[in-house]
Structure 1
Amino acid sequence: MSALLDGALPPAQNPRLFGHRSAEQFLAESYRSGKGHHAILIEGPEGIGKATLAFRFAYHVLSHPDPALAPAMLADPDPQSPVFRQIVSGASHNLLHLTRPVDEKTGREKSAITVEEVRRAGRFFSQTSGTGNWRIVIVDPADDLNRNAANALLKILEEPPRRALFLVLTHAPGKLLPTIRSRCLPLALRPLSPEDLAAALSALGVALPQGRAEQVIAAADGSVAEALKLVNHGGLDILEAFAALLAKEDAAARKDMHRLADVLSGRDSETIFDFFTVLIETHVRDAARQAAMAGDLGRADRLAQLSGALTEKLATAAAYNLDRKQTVLSLIDAIRAER
Structure 2
Amino acid sequence: MSETSGAVLDGAIPPQLNNRLFGHEQAEEFLARFYKSGRSHHAILIEGPEGIGKATLAFRFANHVLSHPNPEEAPDHLADPDLDSMVSRQIASGASHNLLHLARPVDEKTGKTKTAITVDEVRRAGHFFSQTSGTGNWRIVIIDPADDLNRNAANAILKILEEPPKRSLFLVLSHAPGKLLPTIRSRCLPLKLDPLSTEDLTHALGHLRIELDGGQTALNVLASAGGSVSQALKLLNYGGTEIVSAFDDILAAEGPSARRAMHRLADVLSGKDNDVIFGFFLDHISTHLMRRARDAALAGDLRQADRVSRLVSEVRERISISQGYNLDRKQTILSLLEDIAR
Amino acid at match of 2:96: S
Q: Percent identity?
A: 67
Q: Describe the superposition over 1:107-163 as per-residue Cα deviations: whole angstroms up to 9, x where unpaired.
A: 111111111111111111112367532110001111011111111111111111111
Residue 50 (structure 2) aligns with? 46
CA gap of 1:256–1:119, structure 2 versus 1, over 3 A, is same
- The CA distance in 2 between the partners of 1:127 and 1:306, in whole Å, is 49
**The one of 124, 127, 134 aligned to 1:120:** 124
CA gap of 1:219–1:313, structure 2 versus 1, over 3 A, is same
**The one of 182, 188, 193 aligned to 2:192:** 188
- The CA distance in 2 between the partners of 1:65 and 1:98, in whole Å, is 22
Report the CA distance between 1:207 and its aligned residue: 3.5
3-state secondary structure, aligned to 1:208: coil
Say whether 1:292 aligns with 2:297.
yes
Q: List gaps (5 residues or longer) in structure 1.
A: none
Residue 311 (structure 2) aligns with? 306
3-state secondary structure, aligned to 1:212: helix
- The CA distance in 2 between the partners of 1:317 and 1:116, in whole Å, is 25
Say whether 1:262 aligns with 2:267.
yes
Q: List gaps (5 residues or longer) in structure 2.
A: none
Q: How does 1:1-339 map to 2 (within 5 A)?
A: 1-128=5-132, 132-208=136-212, 210-337=215-342
Structure-1-length-normalised TM-score: 0.97
Amino acid at match of 2:99: L
Amino acid at match of 2:104: R
Indicate conservation of the 8 Å contact 1:208/1:231, yes or no.
Answer: no
Indicate conservation of the 8 Å contact 1:113/1:145, yes or no.
Answer: yes
Structure-2-length-normalised TM-score: 0.96
Amino acid at match of 1:303: V
- The CA distance in 2 between the partners of 1:2 and 1:180, in whole Å, is 20
- The CA distance in 2 between the partners of 1:86 and 1:42, in whole Å, is 23
3-state secondary structure, aligned to 2:216: coil
Could you tell which deviates more after superposition, 79-88 or 280-289?
A: 280-289
- C-alpha root-mean-square deviation of aligned residues, in Å? 1.3
Amino acid at match of 1:36: S
3-state secondary structure, aligned to 2:141: strand
3-state secondary structure, aligned to 1:161: coil
- The CA distance in 2 between the partners of 1:85 and 1:292, in whole Å, is 52
Could you tell which deviates more after superposition, 36-45 or 244-253?
A: 244-253
CA gap of 1:101–1:60, structure 2 versus 1, over 3 A, is same
Could you tell which deviates more after superposition, 234-243 or 323-332?
A: 323-332
